[in-house]
Structure 1
């Protein structure tokens, strides 16, 4: 079995082969599925993310949701929080992965137990919903503190039967691919 690092390298290389048109088309398909999903329709407080180049872009969903939206903000070497987001809000580029995040000053993080739905990206998911992220464990630590329903989204460039796992890894409740 490949190590997580080897898988990350291989999947990032494969992702770079996608055209901008493919990324946009596949992101639109994921957004459409999310908008029609009963969990999305019922949820009031939703944690989303701002996409990196190899992640599905959910910005159209964020622009027209009518929900209380929250985006992750890395606040230390081990922790992220979710901060309020509204369409058009100015975001700042963080030193962690170059993410676009809400400004921390003056913002009040939502308590993990108050989120109803989390949409979480990954390089890959396996058949049981375990994710291969970027390797820092931010989402893993957050997921251990929330009861929110977890939907994983990915371009699904390669489907993996079983990812290498650690004791602290937690699966998604459901996965959505283009």
Structure 2
């Protein structure tokens, strides 16, 4: 079994070199599935993430005005909250991620969990900070991930803190 660091490096490269037309096709197919799902239809407050250029393109979802959209904000001790998404009130963190200037925490009922690789049972390899696993440890709502075909792996190394996502949307 490959180590998480090795998989992170491999998946970042694969995402950065992903054929743009294939990426667009898979993104559209995954978003269509998600928007038609009961999970999306029943959610009132959805936590999305602000993608880096190589990550899953959330542009369409962030433009949705029918739902309350919140985004992650990192705090000290690798903690995280979600705050209302306002494209005019964002700043760039030292990690190169856009976050909200707000400090008002909002609890979503559906979280879109980012990552680099997943197994069929929802375990994932994220970026290594543990922010989502810490938040998800006490979260009782629904969790989903959007996964390109090459990001699915048969197994990954796990630890006791890893929290699986409940639903995977993929092509």
| TM-score (norm: length of structure 1) | 0.88
Q: What are the ranges of 5 or more consecutive residues in structure 1 without an aligned counterpart?
A: none
Residue deviations 1:95-148, cap 9 Å, x none? 13x1111113xx4111xxx42111112111112100110011010001012111
Measured after TM superposition, the shift of residue 26 of structure 1 is: 2.3
Is 2:126 aligned against 1:133? yes
Aligned length: 171
CA root-mean-square deviation: 1.6
Kept in 2, the 8 Å contact 1:55–1:154? The answer is: no
Match of 2:113 among 108, 120, 123: 120
Bigger shift: 45-54 or 35-44? 45-54
Bigger shift: 44-53 or 14-23? 14-23
5 Å-filtered alignment, 1:67-86, equals 67-86=67-86
Counterpart in the other structure of 2:42: 42
- The SS at the match of 2:70 is strand
Q: What are the ranges of 5 or more consecutive residues in structure 2 without an aligned counterpart?
A: none
Match of 1:163 among 147, 156, 163: 156
Measured after TM superposition, the shift of residue 85 of structure 1 is: 1.1
| Alpha-carbon spacing, 1:32–1:65, altered in 2? closer, same or farther (3 Å) | farther
Q: Please give the alpha-carbon distance, in whole angstroms, between the structure 1 residues aligned to 2:140 and 2:62.
A: 22
Moved over 3 A (4+): none
Counterpart in the other structure of 2:142: 149
Counterpart in the other structure of 1:102: 100
Residue deviations 1:50-81, cap 9 Å, x none? 11133211121121241111100112241111
| TM-score (norm: length of structure 2) | 0.92
Q: Please give the alpha-carbon distance, in whole angstroms, between the structure 2 residues aligned to 1:156 and 1:59.
A: 20
